[in-house]
Chain A
Amino acid sequence: MKKLINDVGSVVADTLRGVAAAHPSLRVDVENRIIFRRDAPRPGKVGLVSGGGSGHEPLHGGYVGYGMLDAACPGEIFTSPVPDQIATATTGVDGGAGVLHIVKNYTGDVLNFEMAAELSGDEGVEVARVLVDDDVAVRDSLYTAGRRGTGATLFVEKIAGALAESGAPLAEVARVGREVNDRSRSFGVALTPCTTPAAGTPTFELGDAEIELGIGIHGEPGRTRAAHREAREIVRLAMDAIDDDLPLSGETLVMVNGMGGTPLMELYIVFAEVAAYLEEKGATAVRSLVGDYVTSLDMQGFSVTTCALTGDLTRLWDAPVETPALRWGR
């Protein structure tokens, strides 16, 4: 393992020190591991709090700022944050209009955010929750923990954040967050596994000629393994999985996301194939993101996330945002 770290035990804390030093628009509570908007809490504005394991940067801390999150709670690598941490963030961003928790659907995240919501409720903070579960690689059935939350988390944070910035009440902000999740689907493909600093070895084995289909964002193996092939064909596998679940049509927001170790050039090659696939289906990528947005440490690979837009959702997507990792219009 070769990584730019000081000590395996201080990776998260050292990351937070870097975030604090690089971004004066943020207030970083290193001890409690919370990244706040510097001007939080904003009186009368619904607060948005998200969080999850570290290792997915820029998610979530990179999306704290005007028009998006008010606070982010990073856990240990691939491990959800703890209740006290989330509750401290929640009470810290409450401007009297309540707080929205944006939670990716993993057993640990759900349990810790639930406990935090109870603690915050005891302090008199009204909390609503949007559960993100966009990954079509996992069947939502009695036999799984339900679909995972992956790329759509960013869409929910951006669009709900824009509505909150406009002064909308908590119920409305939560409703639009759920709408975005309902309209979004994702599928991920890995060319290589990732290596967590604590383990020091790759999280799974993958041969030179193999790819892993239907991966999540925690270095866990996917649903199936397949032979490596042209980008065009890999994209078709991913897009077919999405289209089977929610047929693609109309104006679509598309993210081709790098998993952390993928050259941008390859992501653009993937995007070209995604755009061609959409056209075949009568859909159009009217808004797009290409780059590393929801990563899995040093994994090579990509995920595609689509969201079927409406006029309102497009306006909220286009609304000004100013965070370390997403900024436009301001």
Chain B
Amino acid sequence: MDTRFFVTWMEEITAAVRAARDHLTRLDAAIGDADHGTNLDRGFSAVAEALAARPPATPGGALVLAGSTLIRKVGGASGPLYGTAFREAGKTLGETPEVSTAELAAALEAGLAGVRRLGGAEEGDKTMVDALAPAVRALARAVHEGGTAGEALDAAAAAAEDGAKATIPLQARKGRASYLGPRSIGHEDPGAASTALILDALRTVGSR
């Protein structure tokens, strides 16, 4: 996976977020403040512009630029959290021009650690961690079992999607949905849903 791959991943996320913008905002309206779709749309549009204006030289550079742009442009909790995830992942990749599936797994694990450190959420709190953590585990397992890159990315995307759906019966313990107490039960967490979208975009790019 080269720099082009990672830039394409970001472009794929931008398109997917644009298409799902109203869906994400509706999920957020149910248990939050109805801005998740518009915020991520604004953020990833800015990422696409930044990547076009300052083409990165390495995969890590692409992720760090994407993360920094999200922190600068999105606001809310999702800006710093997604921004930190991409920055930490990018920094873990260092200067390497070609990323193996094992290196990608390590990078996403670092991204997850960054999100946990900043947001303080654990699995089961009904946040993006509920999609990201299973995806990181599935990717690591696929690498360990020696599958192809396509199989590994497929497993990660499927785990993220399952994780997002599994937030529906949970009561939120972090973020704005936690204010609702038991009334947050029965709704998919918008952050987990957008994380699943991001990993689905990774699968799409990997399958080309």
Contacts and interface: CB of A to CB of B under 8 A. Distances in A.
Contacts of A199: 25, 29, 34-35, 38
Contact of A83 (B71, B119, B178, B181): B71
B74 interface: yes
Given A144-B179, A218-B176, A203 B75 contact: no
Contacts of A112: 75-76, 79-80
A146 B25 CA distance: 23
Main secondary structure, interface of A, reads: loop
Interface string B76-87: 111111000000
15 contacts: A76-B75, A77-B35, A83-B72, A106-B77, A107-B175, A108-B77, A111-B77, A112-B79, A115-B71, A137-B179, A138-B178, A144-B178, A145-B179, A148-B179, A221-B180
Cβ-closest 8 pairs across A and B: A108-B76, A108-B77, A218-B33, A144-B178, A111-B80, A107-B77, A79-B75, A79-B76
B31, B39, B176: which has the most chain A beta carbons within 10 Å?
B176
A78 B183 contact: no
Contact of B34 (A78, A115, A143, A148): A78
Contacts of B183: 221, 223
A82 B176 contact: no
B34 A144 contact: no
A33 to B, nearest CB: 10
A219 B39 CA distance: 16
Interface string A193-237: 000101101011000000000001011110100000000000000
A106 B72 contact: no
Contacts of A223: 179-181, 183
Nearest to B78: A108
A201 to B, nearest CB: 8
A81 interface: yes
Contacts of A204: 29-30
Nearest to A55: B33
A142 interface: yes
Nearest to A81: B75
A123 B79 CA distance: 23
Nearest to A77: B35
Main secondary structure, interface of B, reads: helix
B57 interface: no
Contacts of B77: 80, 106-108, 111
Contacts of A240: none
Contact of B79 (A82, A106, A138, A143): A82
B173 interface: yes
Given A107-B119, A112-B75, A220 B39 contact: no
A78 B71 contact: no
B75, B178, B180, B183: which has the most chain A beta carbons within 10 Å?
B75
A131 to B, nearest CB: 15
A82 B74 contact: yes
B18 interface: no
B39 to A, nearest CB: 6
B179 A107 contact: no
B35 A198 contact: yes
A56 B174 CA distance: 23
A81 B75 CA distance: 5
Nearest to B182: A223
B42 interface: yes
A219 B33 contact: yes
A222 to B, nearest CB: 8
A245 to B, nearest CB: 16
Contacts of A322: none
Contacts of A76: 35, 38-39, 42, 75
A142, A201, A221: which has the most chain B beta carbons within 10 Å?
A221
